[in-house]
Every structure is written in structure tokens, then in C-alpha cells.
Amino acid sequence: RDIRVMNGVDKITVHHTAWQITTDAWKPTAGELENIREFHAGHRPTDRNWADIAYHFVVDRGGRVWQARPLAYQGAHVRGHNEHNMGIVLLGDFDKQSPTAAQLVALSGFIGFARHLYAIAVSNIFTHGELGQTSCPGKHLQAFMDRARRKWAAAEPVTTPATGAATAIRRLP
């Protein structure tokens, strides 16, 4: 089973699990995470047989952020785009249901934290469907991500090409 060292983070990709989840209780959520891990890392004929769960972090319906695969290692969440790419999955099928307010607040806060920690530009925040042939993360989460990235981009300082210095000028939405 192949597992590679991450060697730094310079992008983030957001996913959904693509099955409906309605609980925000801790114990059933922990069970869902183990189901995902078993499907990704298990040895049954229908399992993926990967080294670990594909994603680095999971945001549950209650807004809790769970660590999945250690960030020291590349994920297995976007074929051909896992190098330096932090994978975040939200529990739910966002073609059929909407993310909870708690999930969206947690996702936004966590992405903001990661962007600050790793100096990730808004242009390096993706959804799975933007990097691969899939409808992931579902139409409802995709719409949120489109709005959020416009908002984040408007708040980013503009860099002066000649000096590389950030100015106080903000981009217009």
C-alpha cells in the first residue's frame, strides 16, 4: 500500500461523502468515520485497499472537525492531485441535502486557519469536481464554496508586482 510524505501543504480540496447523514451525535459520527476508513483501507474485494482514509480532515453535521489521515502524508482524495493537497470531507450528500450551518461555519473557520498557517491563496482552494470528473461536493456545497471563495478573495491583500509587498487595497467582489 502506497503512502507518500506530504512535504508541505499548498492547496485544499473540499469533498462530500455522497450519502445522506442526518445525525450530529458523536458516537454515530465516529462509527461513520470508521466505515469510511474501512472502505478506504480495508481488504474486502469492494474496499479501496489504500494505506488509510483518503481525507485529512472530516467535518461532521455538528460542526466538529475530526482528523482522519495524518497531514504528514499525502491523501488519496483527488486522483493526480494529492501532492501538497489537504483533503477535507463534509459528512452528507449535498446534492440531496444541505450542509448544516455548523458544518459551514466550521469549514470556513478551518479553511481560514489552514490558509493562514500554510499561506494558501484562495486560488488554491478547490472542490473535488474542479479537479476531477465528479459531481463532488454536490450542488449545495459547491454553491457555498463559490460564494465563500469570492468573499475570501475580496478580503485578500493585493500584492504589488514590482516589490511583492502586500498593500491595504482590497479586491472588489
Cα–Cα distance for residue pair 77/154, rounded to 1 Å: 28
What is the model's pTM? 0.88
Cβ proximity of 136 and 25 under 8 Å: no
Query: What pLDDT does 1 receive?
Result: 66
115 or 157, higher pLDDT:
115
Lookup result for grid cell 483527488: 78
Task: Kindly give, in sequence order, each residue whose CB lies less than 8 Å from that of residue 12, ignoring residues fewer than 6 positions away.
Answer: 85, 86, 87, 88, 111, 114, 115, 120, 124, 125, 126
DSSP 97: S
Cα–Cα distance for residue pair 137/140, rounded to 1 Å: 8
Summarize pLDDT for 73-114 with one digit per residue, the tens.
Answer: 999 899 999 999 999 999 999 999 999 999 999 999 999 999
For residue 127, give the 3-state DSSP assignment.
Answer: strand
Cβ atoms within 10 Å, residue 100? 19
Secondary structure of the chain: what % helix, strand, coil (to 5)? Answer: 35, 20, 50
Checking DSSP bridges between strand 157-159 and strand 166-170, what pairing results, if any? antiparallel
Query: What pLDDT does 167 receive?
Result: 43
